[in-house]
Amino acid sequence: DAGITQSPRHKVTETGTPVTLRCHQTENHRYMYWYRQDPGHGLRLIHYSYGVKDTDKGEVSDGYSVSRSKTEDFLLTLESATSSQTSVYFCAIRSPGQGGMANYGYTFGSGTRLTVV
């Protein structure tokens, strides 16, 4: 989608190697998220960020770390990739709502398909 790009789109890596996925947005939104998607599990939140240098864990954060040094970039790192981390990874940004706490929807990137062999 316009305004959010993920790189790389596809990656194959070996078990035990570090891997970094990048999410870049041009919308200047405060909130950014990393999800993984696996068959039978839907989308699961890994980490999210609510500002530069402000991040927190999601429901499946073990084995992942994130960094947000600039508003536009949110990096997801697998310090030592394992086969269980083979997945499709989606980054998302949240558009600000109009009035109150209403969320006007998340915009997702096109995904990164990661295979750990």
Partner 1 sequence: DAKTTQPPSMDCAEGRAANLPCNHSTISGNEYVYWYRQIHSQGPQYIIHGLKNNETNEMASLIITEDRKSSTLILPHATLRDTAVYYCIVSSEWIQGAQKLVFGQGTRLTINP
Give the whole-angstrom CA distance, residue 93 versus residue 3: 9
Quick check: helix, strand or coil at residue 84? helix
Cβ nearer to partner 1, comparing 50 with 82: 50
Sort 27 into a burial class: Cβ within 10 Å, 0-12 / 13-18 / 19+: middle
In order of 48, 63, 117, the CA distances from 93 in angstroms are: 10, 22, 30
Cβ nearer to partner 1, comparing 45 with 52: 45
Least Cβ distance, residue 62 to partner 1 (angstroms): 17
Q: How many Å is the maximal CA-CA distance in the chain? A: 47
Q: What residues make contact with partner 1 under the rule CB under 8 A?
A: 1, 30-31, 33, 35, 40, 42-45, 48-50, 54, 56, 58-59, 90, 92, 94, 101-111
Least Cβ distance, residue 75 to partner 1 (angstroms): 17
Least Cβ distance, residue 52 to partner 1 (angstroms): 13
Cβ nearer to partner 1, comparing 20 with 110: 110
Least Cβ distance, residue 80 to partner 1 (angstroms): 26
For every residue of 106-117, DSSP letters joined together read EEE---EEEEE-
Cβ nearer to partner 1, comparing 2 with 14: 2
